[in-house]
Structure formats: structure tokens, C-alpha cells
Amino acid sequence: MTTWMRCYWDEEDVWFYFEVDSEGWVTRQVELRGPEGTPLTAASLEEWQRAQQAGCLAAYAREYGLTAELPVSQWEGHEPVELTSQEFEETWDVARRQIASRPR
């Protein structure tokens, strides 16, 4: 079962939004910094695995970032707030559009 959540890291002033699969692995991740919510990351595990297989992971990571490398069961110190799929999708769509519109 897929779940969606967000966590805030106050030391970095970043909101992290996660889509998590039934085994606890992050499948999509968004990071928004500051009060204006500037997107830092909008990464998909499936996309970055394809990029890695194609030999262009570095380019993907520069553009979209990467997803968390540990399952959520191994995280410490952050209490996630559950989201609906719609809340996550809205955040994902906005972040992806903003990242795509950046000058390259």
C-alpha cells in the first residue's frame, strides 16, 4: 500500500514530501526550502534507476535530485505527517513544473 507523508527539518528550513511503497521505500520525493517553498528536489526512484542504467544519473541528480536511500523504518528523529495522494500530487506537480522551467 502506498502512503504519502511530509516532514520538516527546521535546521535546513526544508519540507520533505514522500511517497512511500508498502515496503517503506521512498518512490518519489519533493524538497521545498524556505517560506516561499523553492523546490530543491522532485525525484522519482523509477526515473533515477532508469537514468543510472542509461549512464546519466549525474545529470538526473543535478536536475531533479535523488530519493532517500533508506526505508522509512530506519529514519530517526522526524515525525511524519500523513498526506492524501492528492496533497502529494499537487506538491509534486508544482515542484516538477518549477524545476523544468529553470534555465539550464
Tens of pLDDT along 38-65? 999 999 999 999 999 999 999 999 999 9
Of 29, 25, 32, the closest CA to residue 42 belongs to 29
Q: How far apart are CA 36 and CA 12, in angstroms?
A: 14
Name the strand (E) or helix (H) holding 93.
helix 85-100
Q: How far apart are CA 99 and CA 70, in angstroms?
A: 24
Domain ranges of the chain: 3-99
Digit-coded pLDDT (tens) for 24-41: 899 999 999 999 999 999
Using DSSP, how many helices (H) and how many strands (E) does the chain show?
Answer: 3, 5
What DSSP designation does 52 have?
A: H
Residue 17 pLDDT > 90, yes or no?
A: yes
Q: How far apart are CA 63 and CA 95, in angstroms?
A: 12
Residue 19 pLDDT > 90, yes or no?
A: yes
pTM beyond 0.75: yes
Q: What's the mean pLDDT in 83-99?
A: 97
